[in-house]
Structure 1
Amino acid sequence: MPHIQLPEGLPGILGPMAFSPQTTIPLNGLAEVLLRTNASESLTQGERELIASYTSRRNDCFFCSTSHGAAADYLLGRENEVVAKTWANPDTAPVSDKMKALLAIAGSVQQGGKHVTHEQITAAREQGASDRDIHDTVLIAAAFCMYNRYVDGLATWAPHDAEVYADMGEALATRGYVHYNETQPA
């Protein structure tokens, strides 16, 4: 049961966003920029979603890890089980060495910003990560710590039906964040 009176039937972050529409615009705008921008960047949309999902999983935020994991799976190929394998062990996951190094940075950010080490940054650079890749990884991980705490701090509910998340992941991957809430029932 949520800690405050949220609109019924809206899972995870959708309930708090419907409760406080004025904060929805900047929160969705930030997610849109962080997760869907890759015009001249080297991180793909799928890799960005993977960082968000991985951070959320480490924060034990079921809704965010599952919904963003579904978006990453949609973008990276569900049959590859990249998300599940990354959650199980990022060191053996079927991702590039650059992504493994960036996931290590994201894991440190999840613990606290000061946990990121010079050695982790050097390792990421040695695997081809640019300053933009490192910046975006840190910002995605930091932002998802905030989103996770927003969702779980209000004790929102989350469905456990995998098909719901598959549909949600596809919608997030194809329509994005700015317009996602507009398609949800109020």
Structure 2
Amino acid sequence: MAHIKLPEDLPGIRGPFAFRPETAKPMSELAEVLLHTPGSLSMADSELIATYVSSRNDCHYCQTSHGAIAAYHLGGDEQLVLDVKHDFESAGISEKLKALLNIAGRVQQGGKLVRAEDVGRARGHGATDLEIHDTVLIAAAFCMYNRYVDGLATWAPADTESYRRRAAAVAENGYMGALAAVAAQAAASKGE
């Protein structure tokens, strides 16, 4: 049971987003830029970084939802997502992504733990300054998102199929589209 009164039919971050739309909008805009807008990293790589950080933070809702979105972008390869969460150094991903995940893991532990050699490794595998920047920001943002979700004791569905269905919608419509769906669902729950 959540620590505050949240809509009971909206799991994870969707409940707090419906509760406080004023903060949901900028948080969703940040997720849109980092995870869904074409830019430095592919959507699959961005989602894998978010999944990995969420897994290290033991946030069930975020690691499962973003893992499902990553798998969607990877053509349904859920095993690769699990491999990245378990041991990214042995996973079937590029050396550049491995180096970026290493940086993300250090940020998850503490920003000052990122070392020059970590950044050098990423650069050595072709990572640009923008990719390094976005990796650090994704990792930092997901520490915030994870603590937001778990700090309010939100609930998370146990079945993986609900995450897969939502993943398709988010992957196709983005995070601002997902926010609009939350607002519509919250309004319907209130009978508006």
Superposition TM-score tier, normalisation by shorter sequence? over 0.9
Structure 2 unmatched ranges of 5 or more: 187-192
CA distance in 1, matches of 2:102, 2:38: 21
Deviation at 1:80, TM superposition (A): 6.0
Question: More displaced, 130-139 or 170-179?
Answer: 170-179
Structure 1 unmatched ranges of 5 or more: none
Which stretches of structure 1, 4 residues or longer, exceed 3 Å deviation after superposition?
A: none
Distance 1:80 1:66, change over 3 A: closer
Q: Give the root-mean-square deviation of aligned CA atoms.
A: 1.0
* AA matched with 1:60: D
CA distance in 1, matches of 2:107, 2:130: 16
Deviation at 1:116, TM superposition (A): 0.6
Of the three residues 86, 90, 93, the one matched with 2:91 is 93
Question: More displaced, 99-108 or 170-179?
Answer: 170-179
What residue is the counterpart of 1:68 in the other structure?
66
Deviation at 1:82, TM superposition (A): 1.5
SS at the partner of 1:9? coil
Structure 2 counterparts to residues 158-177 of structure 1, below 5 A: 158-177=156-175
CA distance in 2, matches of 1:14, 1:165: 13
What residue is the counterpart of 2:107 in the other structure?
109
- Structure number with the higher helix fraction is 2
Structure 2 counterparts to residues 15-164 of structure 1, below 5 A: 15-39=15-39, 41=40, 43-79=41-77, 81-164=79-162
> Are the aligned partners of 2:170 and 2:177 in contact in 1 as well (CA < 8 Å)?
no
SS at the partner of 1:91? helix
**TM-score relative to the length of structure 1:** 0.96
CA distance in 2, matches of 1:44, 1:133: 10
Aligned-residue sequence identity (percent) comes to 56
Deviation at 1:132, TM superposition (A): 0.4
What residue is the counterpart of 1:9 in the other structure?
9
* AA matched with 1:23: T
CA distance in 1, matches of 2:171, 2:52: 16
After superposition, the C-alpha distances for 1:37-72 in whole angstroms (9 at most, x for unaligned) are 224x3x101100110011000000000000000000
* AA matched with 1:72: A
Deviation at 1:181, TM superposition (A): 2.6
Deviation at 1:74, TM superposition (A): 0.2
CA distance in 1, matches of 2:140, 2:78: 27
SS at the partner of 1:95? coil
What residue is the counterpart of 2:189 in the other structure?
none
